[in-house]
Structures are given as C-alpha cells and as structure tokens.
Amino acid sequence: MIKEILKNVFSKKQVIQFPEGFKVSPEQKAKIVDFQKKIDTIFRRSLRIRQVDAGSCNACEWECTALTNPIYDIQRFGIDFVASPRHADVLLVTGPVSRQMELALKRTALATPEPRLVVACGDCAKDGGIYKGSYAVTNGVANVIPVDAVIPGCPPTPTAIILALSELIDKVCTMN
C-alpha cells in the first residue's frame, strides 16, 4: 500500500479535470468550470453542504456519497459535505419528510447559520414523489421549511446534483 501511495505522490501524472467516468457535455463542463470560479470568489473556495435525510429510501444519499468518489470528486471544486449544520452554507434535504423526521429537520435548519440555502433533492423531497398522500409524510420539504431550489430525479444523478447546485448559485448571484 505504501508503494502505491508513494507512486502517486512522485509520478508526474497530470490532473485530469473531467475523468472518463464523469460523463458531461462540453456546455455542462463550461457551466461547472464557471461554477468553480464563483465558489472561488463568492464563497472563498469553500461551499459547505449539510445533507439531511428526511425519510428518503437511501438512493439519494448514495448519490451524494458518489459525489465524493474519485470520479466526481466535488471537493476539487471547493464543495464538501460537512458533519454539522453549524458549518453549512447549504442544507441538502432528501426524502418526502416523514412526520417522525419533521421536528429533527426543523431543528437542523435552525442550527444552520444565516444566510443559508435549502435544496430539496429528489422527487420525494420535491412533492412527496411516489409517497405523496401517505399518512406518514408531509409531501415535500417546502411544506416544512422554505426551499430555494429543487433537484428532480429519482434519484438525481451525481452530475444532475452538481449542475443543479451551479444553477442555484447562478440564481443567488443575479439576485445580489
């Protein structure tokens, strides 16, 4: 293992901005590069996300986890998932918000310092999705806390999540 680590440190490998597995069109690439510049200037190279599962089936969580794998590697854009809401700029909420998670979600939102952005990630978070109308869900994040952006998809792919975040930051920039 040490050999492998040393090989990576001393080899003259070039940084590949978009590895083969990261399937994006040239326009999308331009968008992501522009997004990174905005993070550099507005958020001083650090946009921090706190992910909250409010009753999702866990597919959306795995897509968020996939964002941190070496293929998507969102840390290189300055984005990262943090452990505490107190460190977060963005609250990324998944799931239709089950009633037994409503209070925990509200409290997590309260613990996130202003100005904060709330993103509803996935079809369930958008309006309850397939679970819409069930007695134990509140049919979407917007019914519990104010939402700034919605990412559709069941689940949205890692690329879709990055692009949606870039659109949200664009929106915030034009507002200011």
Q: Which residues bind another protein (CB under 8 A)?
A: 1, 4-5, 21, 23, 51-66, 68-71, 81, 83-85, 95-96, 98-104, 108, 124, 129-131, 133-138, 144, 154-155, 157
- Least separation in angstroms between residue 94's CB and another protein is 9
How many Å apart are CA 95 and CA 8, to the nearest integer?
A: 39
Cβ closer to another protein: 37 or 69? 69
Q: Tell the smallest beta-carbon distance from residue 67 to another protein (Å).
A: 9
**Nearest distance in Å: CB 52, another protein:** 6
DSSP 78: T
For tokens 């692009």, the residue is 163
Residue 78 or 155 having the CB closest to another protein: 155
User: In the complex with another protein, which residue's Cβ is closer, 101 or 149?
Assistant: 101
Amino acid at 154: C
| Least distance from another protein to the Cβ atom of residue 167, Å | 21
Specify the amino acid at residue 130: I
Minimum separation from the CB atom of position 174 to another protein (A): 30
Q: With DSSP H G I counted as helix, E B as strand and the rest as coil, what are the percentages for the chain, rounded to 5?
A: 50, 15, 40
Residues 6+ apart with CB under 8 A from 97: 54, 55, 105, 125, 137, 138, 139, 140, 141, 143, 144
Beta carbon nearer to another protein, 52 or 150: 52
CB closer to another protein, 52 vs 117: 52
Contact 71, 21 (CB under 8 A): yes
Q: How far apart are CA 168 and CA 38, in angstroms?
A: 11
